[in-house]
A and B are shown apart, each in its own frame.
Chain A
Amino acid sequence: MSDTEVTRRARGAHRARPTTGWIARVRRLRLPTQPMLRHLVLAGAAAVGFYVLTSVLSEYNNFQLGEIALYAVALAGLTVLTGTNGQISLGHGALMAVGAYTVALLMTHTHMNLVVEILAAIAVTTAVGVVVGVPATRLRGPYLAGMTLILALGLPLLADQYSSVFGGDQGLTVTVPSPPGTIDPEKWLAWIEILGAVVCLVLLANVMRSRFGRAFRAVRDDEIAASLAGVHVARTKVIAFAVSAGCAGLAGAFLALSTGVVNTGEFPLSLSIGILAGMVLGGAGSLMGVWWGAIALVYLPQWSTSFSKTFNLGSSVSAYFAIIVYGVVLIVVMLLAPSGIQGGLRRVGLVIRNRVRSAPEY
């Protein structure tokens, strides 16, 4: 008898369960409880779902699907940092820039495999994360937020200062290696990005259920209690930020592939704050919630343009509409529903499940 069956039986033991009929069979359907297996099953289902989506959708929609996947990676990194470790970063846009420029520079100067370039982008961004994260852990409170804010404002300027290396306003061009066979390029890019997102989310989901994840949460809830229980508080915070930065690096590398060019104007402060808003909207700490945030980030500029056109708001309003929405999302979600969309869905799901469970059986 497998491990999962034992737990499943143990869970249901106190409740009389009907053993026949389709309702009963549906009720007995459970995801495996072992984390790795559970995450792989979910990831497999998601991958199949995305594969079907990419073959149905048009080229442009495939491109957008890829963008959703890349923002999901960035949001997932931030949600682990904020939701499970209680730190905020205002610099994820800048960290994405680090990943994007790494890929672009490697492509310009070397001829490496794309996978190696992406891994290098993750490594470099993680290193930057450690450098910024270590001093921030010396004090409690929102120091990381302040330091990453400086990073968000300062790093794009660095690319301006050394424009001979980083290409300045013109930027550096990035080309995706041509797809094998007759697959069209948008679909190919979307597959790469979705695969990256799914792998990243599975790894993060496992980290959150591991020793590290528990240490992250312990530090978030009470630093002193955590350190008394043997958790190295500063090291845990740095690890959380490094993991988060690595995700931003991956997202940045994908953004470089997606836009085809990396320049300084692509990573303003509003990108960093937009990522924070998307994360908060989806629900801090929820890896499922990142998809809601990513969808919002990709479609919001489009919606805001058409919204301001419909209501004739004028060009200066429509230019700022998206960032006002980000800000309003941050404020309203924090005041009214701190657990975001995914938290709300979970609550609805619980209500429905309780109804179904307590319904009379026929």
Chain B
Amino acid sequence: MSFFVDVTLNGVSNGMIFAAMALALVFIYRATNIINFAQGAMGMLTTFIAFSLLNRGLGYWEAFAVTLAIGFVLGALVERVLMRPLQGKPELNPVIVTIGLLIVLEGIAGSVWGNNARGFPPAFSQTGLKVGHTKIAFSHFDVFIVGAVLVLMVATLALFRGTNLGLRMRASAFAPEVARLLGVRVGRILTLGWALAAVAGSLAALLVAPTTSFSPYFMDLNLVFGFTAAVIGGLDSPVGALVGGLITGLGVSYVGGYLGSSLQPLGALALLMVVLMARPQGIFARPEARRV
């Protein structure tokens, strides 16, 4: 029983991270119909920069803030330099560019920081909390993960639902031409969307880094699980990303706990297949009407 509880708690904490990753993918997919395969690698790069800053003696929270800021700039740069010239080209071309970016960023990180896995320091203790006399597999750091991702989700919802800027973002995603006619600078909104997505991706990477072997490839699997979460949630809403993230996190954690951690990606694939066969548009998406 206690093993089941531990696996479940682990699934919740992983699921929150996948939700942050999914949110980053959703930000970009909603606006441009592109899956950004470099999302994980961008977070990986900013986290390696954080690692260097920490080694230079910068405090954790300063490094944390600087890293998210670098993520913001990186996301905006990618949109302006790589994505903007491909607007109006076949849908596949920007996707292929993001795949190229994924492998370039991993190559750069590998060349600069080397391939050996290192340890990334956590913000809080990673030993399990105590409930009564039993230790559970949920640490201060896991509490921080859940809190940070919930703050991210609430901030995103507040941005979309409660601010003028969020309204502009929704309008640009929903009908770019009309939004442009009404005075929204759609190009700038796109850049901002990519920048915010990169912040979410960097946050996910910062939260993953202490829990895994920290190498240039450490975000590959998280990208995959984030993608699974995003598709399950319908690639459409922050709430969908959160629920998709939790479902994926629990599923992956049970597969890892009971069958073996090597089977986790294939478990995610199976989950994705089942969801796509049963409810193709995801659990939270509105049914989509297509026009010729």
Contact = CB atoms under 8 A, between A and B. Distances in A.
Interface string B276-291: 1100110000000011
B143 interface: no
A160 B261 CA distance: 11
Contacts of B224: 146, 149-150, 153-154
Contacts, number: 160
Given A146-B231, A324-B107, A334 B220 contact: no
A143 interface: yes
B263 A157 contact: yes
A326 interface: yes
Q: SS class of chain A's interface: helix, strand, loop or mixed? A: helix
Contacts of B220: 153, 269
Interface in A303-320: 316-317, 319-320
Interface in A126-157: 132, 134-136, 138-143, 145-147, 149-151, 153-155, 157
A323 B107 contact: yes
B276 A150 contact: no
A263 interface: no
B100 A334 contact: yes
B92 interface: yes
B104 A327 contact: yes
Contacts of B114: 316
Interface residues of A, number: 53
A317 B217 CA distance: 16
29 contacts: A134-B277, A138-B277, A142-B92, A143-B276, A145-B37, A150-B228, A150-B266, A150-B272, A153-B224, A158-B262, A269-B217, A270-B103, A273-B103, A277-B100, A320-B107, A320-B108, A323-B107, A323-B110, A324-B104, A324-B111, A326-B100, A327-B99, A327-B103, A330-B97, A330-B100, A331-B100, A334-B93, A334-B96, A335-B86
Given A141-B91, A222-B292, A330-B103, 9 more contacts: A86-B90, A147-B273, A154-B268, A323-B103, A324-B107, A326-B103, A327-B105, A330-B96, A335-B86
Q: List the 3 closest pairs (A to B, CB-CB), nearest first.
A: A330-B100, A154-B265, A327-B104
